Amino acid sequence: MKPIGILTFHRASNYGAVLQAYAMQKVISDLGREAILIDYRCRAVEEGHRPWGLFKRHRFPVVLLRCLVAARKDMVFGNFRRNRLKLSAQMSIDDLAVHRDEYALFVAGSDQVWNDVFSGMDPVYMLTFANNRQRYSYACSLGFDSFPEGTEELYREWLKGMQCISLRETKAVDLVRQLGYDSRVDLDPTLLLDRSSWKAFMKAPEVREPYILVYTVNEDVYLLEAAKKLSAKTGTKILYLNNQYKKNREITRIRYSTPEEFVGWFAGAEYVFTNSFHGTAFAILFQKKLKVELETSKKFNVRSRDLLMSCALTNCVLKGIEEEPEFDADWTEAERRLEAMRHSSMDYIRMIVSAAEQNEKE
């Protein structure tokens, strides 16, 4: 039986990237089909997690500290990849073309593999090396609301021949329709696993008292101040999941957690304040008192916006530093919607597994 190959950002030293890769592999494996993460080294992904360019903008001590932080992160995530993920041999784009017939088919996704910045417009993530009958996607994220200048024709050309196009944002369906292709929206793989699955995976924190978990991936605007205000009002301490050393030194930091510990921090939190898509996803999975900041210092978070809308949780959006923040999410309705989306997405993955079986017969 030939395996299914998964092309995603599993090498990024990022919690969301490795956890969605783990979940995607587990879901396919649980359906009885071997799934292998293709150990492709994308230059844009590798360089995006290296701090060498900082030498142009910062003094040596600052760059040295950031290099040490990056090295420690790489060790944590490298251990996870070795122990939790089933990887192919390291492959280049030429290797993929040579070895493609060793796989029943390939799945691109999830994560922002079709984002021009994060992937460097690498056509590997659109599976251009494979035969058309081998080309499927799952919950690929564009991460933007309009095609960046000069990229629309490339997307049109590289997606031509894709058997099924599955996306993560509703807006992306409209963008792909502009290219002349039909598509569908599916859940991020982390949301395909339920709470009990993640509880079996996680490592619970050794913290007895309630805490406000703050998790950011981009610099926040109001988020941390809003969390501080809630902390002062309720007496609940803040735990900041962030590797910064320079800013906000008065706040207790959680640094270099393993992915198992990362999930545990969300499971144990009383409140979650985040501007991260996967921070939003895990807060929803564990039904936490949640505030999500969509407008960060860098960009608008269309992925979290769409997830909150899909789950009828738009009241979880942070609107500045609120005087009296409300945490009145309707988790019954959110769970109902999430389960319906999970059912639809699992049917789609079963179709991919069936297609893998059919490809082997041909």
Kindly report, residue by residue over 195-225, the tens digit of the pLDDT: 999 999 999 999 989 999 999 988 889 999 9
Q: What is the pLDDT of residues 273-290, one digit of tens each?
A: 999 999 999 999 999 999
Higher pLDDT, 275 or 296: 275
> Are 243 and 255 within 8 A, CB to CB?
yes
| pLDDT on residue 70 | 76
Q: What percent of the chain has pLDDT over 70?
A: 92
Assess whether pLDDT exceeds 90 at residue 39: yes
Q: What is the pLDDT of residues 333-352, one digit of tens each?
A: 999 999 999 999 999 999 99
Task: Tell me the average pLDDT across 48-62.
Answer: 51
For 207, residues 6+ apart whose C-beta sits below 8 A from its C-beta are 239, 268
Residue 74 to residue 70: CA distance in whole angstroms: 6
Of 131, 104, 129, 105, nearest in space to 40 by CA: 129
| pLDDT on residue 268 | 97
| pLDDT on residue 42 | 85
Q: What is the pLDDT of residues 155-182, one digit of tens each?
A: 999 999 999 999 998 889 999 999 999 9
> Are 192 and 201 within 8 A, CB to CB?
no
> Are 135 and 359 within 8 A, CB to CB?
no
Assess whether pLDDT exceeds 80 at residue 362: no
Domain boundaries, given as residue ranges, for the chain: 4-192+339-357, 195-326
Return the C-alpha torsion angle 33, 39, 45, 46, nearest 10.
150
| pLDDT on residue 348 | 98
pTM for this model (two decimals)? 0.92
Given this chain, do its domains 4-192+339-357 and 195-326 carry the same CATH topology? Answer: yes
Instruction: From residue 138, give the alpha-carbon distance in Å to each of 109, 207, 224, 236, 287.
Output: 5, 37, 33, 39, 25
Rg (CA), the chain: 20
Of 189, 196, 170, 197, nearest in space to 308 by CA: 170
**Confidence class of residue 308 from pLDDT cuts 50, 70 and 90?**
very high
Assess whether pLDDT exceeds 60 at residue 56: no
Of 188, 226, 239, 246, nearest in space to 325 by CA: 226
**Confidence class of residue 13 from pLDDT cuts 50, 70 and 90?**
confident
Residue 82 to residue 215: CA distance in whole angstroms: 25
Assess whether pLDDT exceeds 60 at residue 83: yes
Task: Tell me the average pLDDT across 29-37.
Answer: 97
Domain at 4-192+339-357: CATH architecture: 3-Layer(aba) Sandwich (3.40)
Tokens 């017939």 locate to 101
**Confidence class of residue 53 from pLDDT cuts 50, 70 and 90?**
very low
Query: Average pLDDT over the chain, rounded to whole?
Result: 91
SS3 272: strand
Assess whether pLDDT exceeds 80 at residue 249: no
Q: What is the pLDDT of residues 120-133, one digit of tens each?
A: 899 999 999 999 99
> Are 58 and 120 within 8 A, CB to CB?
no
| pLDDT on residue 130 | 97
The CATH class for the domain spanning 195-326 reads alpha beta
**Confidence class of residue 54 from pLDDT cuts 50, 70 and 90?**
very low
Burial 140-175 (b: 16+ CB within 10 A, else e): bbbbbeebeeeeeeebeebbeebebbbbbbebbeeb
Task: Tell me the average pLDDT across 236-265.
Answer: 88
**Confidence class of residue 246 from pLDDT cuts 50, 70 and 90?**
low
